[in-house]
Chains A and B, each alone.
Chain A
Amino acid sequence: MPSILEIARLLPEFDKLDAISQNEFCRIADLQLNRLAFKLRCSPYQPHLNNLSGPNVNLDLWAATKDWLEQLPEQYRLGALVALLSTTYITEPELDALMDNAAEHFAQFLFEQNKQPASWSWPMPPAECQKLLPFPTAAYEAYDRLVRRLRIPGTVNKTAKSTLSDYLYQHFSGLCLWADYGPACPYPDQTAQILGGLATQLLGKHVLVVDDCSFSGTTLSSDLRRLLDLLRILYSAHTTVLASKNRQPPTVTVLVAFATQEAVARISKTLRDAGRLADVQVFCGAVETRGRLSNELPDRLDPLRQVLLPVRDAHEALRDAIDHYSQHFRAYPRETTIASRHPMADQWKWGFKDGAYAVVTYLNAPNNSVPLLWYPHTSSAKTNPKSLFPRVESRESHPPVRAEYLDECIQRCLGAATPPAGGAGAESKHIYHFLAQFYEEEL
């Protein structure tokens, strides 16, 4: 295992420091590497468990850091090291604790809504538990562990639980058929049964949308907007009849373990713009309130910055390294489906949507974090330089064709779900007519 001194000697700035400053530099850098190493021992970075080539932070962080820095031109190594020392590594117990915090806030919210006389926390009373309908936004272990801890029924078998986008895709496909053809659609009985089942399944429920991390809020707010559209299609034209039968449309709650302020703002805007049917609550385990790396370094690196100040500004070194690295990162949009979803500007050198975060979870590195840490990703054609926390690119979760198809379906369904205004076209409101009759007769 190389010492911190061997790592420091890779930096040209280190030789320019006096002996006392060198000592202090090594102490601070070693402390931060120790912090990361401790967390990596608690929860190894999972993509590395597949024996990726390149520096392996799970085996020896110091050796991996040395190998990683050696790949970079000398003048950019300090900036890269600063990015690493700024990194917040979220471990498995931390992610679980964040999830629990968000869930606890939700339980307290329900407690107040229901004006319960006694302590009401997890596990909830069985009657309330039955009302919960949780959906993960993607397949991740923290979700499975959360629902097991909360003892929500029907979620023990994780293979049976679809993600929210799968659920929406599956149901909008059926809804769209009915919107276009009504009872003339293929398999009308089955389709009607599915439609009726969907409408009753959600009535009176608390739909819980659970996400582990949200940085720009893009994925979560897209899924959320589509979910709210589904609820509008199913219930907004029928609130009177539902109220007369004492049935409530579902409420929607978003639980996010770790979110940025930007993500919270975007999700809130989505909720406002969607003209929501019912109150939607967002509960976060923690909200990242610190600035982005593009603006400032984290407070914990203040002493390091002070030590380096006579020879170089640490933040400037980071900016230079990011500028340099953008020549490698430029290939990322072409290599992934991101380019087709979001015309990715070249200037997004700080990560997706210029995220500039220095956050890595034990499961993956978000693409909103600085690319120095995670690019090239595991499926990249690029093999050099190797990254410390190579990202597993979730192409499957971002298929643009499916998103476009879904949005087109939603528009067609929304058109068929609004009450007829009279005149021509009234008979094409297949979803509206079906649901009006269904709620009247079946509830």
Chain B
Amino acid sequence: MRAISSEKRLILPLLRSGATHIFATGFEERCLAYPRWLYKNCSTIGKQRFLCVESKDRMVSDYLLDRQQRHRCQLQELFASTQFVQPDQLKSTLGAAIGQPAAPVFIDISSLPRRYIFRLGDLTMSLARNNRRVFLVYTYPRRYYAGPLQRPSGEFDTFPAEQDQWRGAPRLLLIPGFDLEYANLIVSYARARWPDDFSITWLFPFVRRYELYERALEVHLHLVHPDSYRLISQDVIGLCVRQLESCIQEDQQPIVVCPLGPRIVCASVSLALRLVRARQPERPMVIVAPRTARYDSLRSAGAEEPLVEEIGVYLARAQEGGNAAGGTVLGQI
């Protein structure tokens, strides 16, 4: 992905005839970085369509709800025509609401809950089939706060019922973030379910900001063995998809992907699974993550310049994989 200001020459002409912009309002300031950039740089705001995914999560503290509400108001001040969409109506509403057939689509996943990023996979596939240009937008916060940021709920979403029919124990691909407890839950579950046979590959997102990678590594040190530790490119989607693909295809075991790290990696996971599915249609592949108990602390402050990358090329390749990842989101993040 590249800084959006360096891609102005590509993006601004596309906006002239109108485009659809999908984003979500969250507690973090970064959710408004892309809308603000658009407001400042786009001279044809009237021709744009804005869709905001609203997540009504009840496990959120009043303080964070208040922040989210403020961001919602600020978004409406920027773009009064914003249409707010409920997550359960995501596919149908978005599918119908997206403008003219040729209009490009920009999806800002900076504040989009991870499960919706996977659900959006189906939608982006259908967009790519219609030869639309699809862009992914992502904004990093200026800084993350120290310490564990959130905790998973005590209950863990179960693995799929078909796991008993799997031939052999699975390989877990763990993509860690800053919070140890999520990885702990998954590893504990796997240890209990497959005491000796399951294997883990740790895929650490690397590297736009080296200190973020080192923080994730520091947090998970006692769980990670050097032999099972690898790096995946966080910001270069094409490279990340290739790395994930080759990692998944190393064997024939069932694959359980646990994307606990940055949201940007979820897009690559979704694409890579579709690509592998095309070649290995029978192989069990699932995406699993624990549910967050309660959002009661803010995890970041400020926002950097948004990054953007066109993903149409990858989507076209991933179409071969069909609906592989879309139907396999089991857990909640």
Residues of A within 8 A of B (CB): 31-32, 34-35, 38, 41-42, 88, 93-94, 97-98, 100-101, 104-105, 108, 118-119, 121, 285-286, 288-290, 298-300, 302-303
Contacts and interface: CB of A to CB of B under 8 A. Distances in A.
Nearest to B238: A121
B144 to A, nearest CB: 9
Contacts of B209: 286, 289
Contacts of A101: 206-207, 233, 235-236, 239
Q: Is the interface of B mostly helix, strand, loop or mixed?
A: helix
Contact of A105 (B217, B236, B314): B236
Identify the interface centre among A38, A88, A300: most chain B CB within 10 Å of its CB.
A38
Contact of A42 (B143, B215, B226, B317): B226
8 contacts: A31-B218, A42-B226, A94-B231, A121-B239, A121-B242, A286-B209, A288-B210, A299-B211
Interface string B206-242: 1111110011011001101010011101011011001
Given A38-B217, A104-B238, A119-B238, A290 B211 contact: yes
Interface residues of B, number: 29
B59 interface: no
B159 to A, nearest CB: 29
A300 B215 contact: yes
Contact of A119 (B218, B231, B314): B314
Contact of B221 (A34, A93, A285): A34
Interface in B295-320: 313-314, 316-317
Nearest to B217: A35
Interface string B169-183: 000000000000000
B226 A41 contact: yes
| Most chain B CB within a 10 A radius of its CB, from A35, A118, A289 | A35
A93 B213 CA distance: 13
A300 B233 contact: no
The 5 closest A-B pairs by CB, nearest first: A97-B231, A119-B313, A104-B239, A42-B226, A104-B236
A289 B212 CA distance: 12
A300 B211 contact: yes
Instruction: Find the residue from A31, A97, A104, A105 having the highest chain B CB count within 10 A.
Output: A97
B315 to A, nearest CB: 10
B214 A35 contact: yes
Nearest to A303: B146
A300 B212 CA distance: 10
A233 to B, nearest CB: 33
B313 A118 contact: yes
B221 A38 contact: yes
Contacts of B217: 35, 38
A96 B125 CA distance: 32
A34 B223 CA distance: 12
Contacts of B317: 119
Given A38-B221, A93-B230, 8 more contacts: A31-B221, A32-B218, A38-B224, A101-B207, A119-B313, A119-B316, A299-B143, A299-B146
Nearest to B219: A31
Nearest to A111: B313
B233 A100 contact: yes
Given A88-B210, A288-B210, A100 B239 contact: yes
Contacts of B207: 94, 97-98, 101, 285-286
Nearest to A100: B239
A15 to B, nearest CB: 27
A104 B317 CA distance: 18
Nearest to A31: B218
B304 to A, nearest CB: 11
A229 to B, nearest CB: 29
Contacts of A34: 218, 221-222
A150 to B, nearest CB: 12
A88 B215 CA distance: 12
Contacts of A300: 211, 214-215, 218
A256 to B, nearest CB: 13
Contacts of B143: 299
A35 B230 CA distance: 15
A286 B231 CA distance: 14
Contacts of B206: 94, 97, 101
A302 B215 CA distance: 13
A31 B233 CA distance: 25
Contacts of A288: 210
B233 A104 contact: yes
Contacts of B146: 299, 302-303
Nearest to A41: B226
A300 B213 CA distance: 12
B264 to A, nearest CB: 14
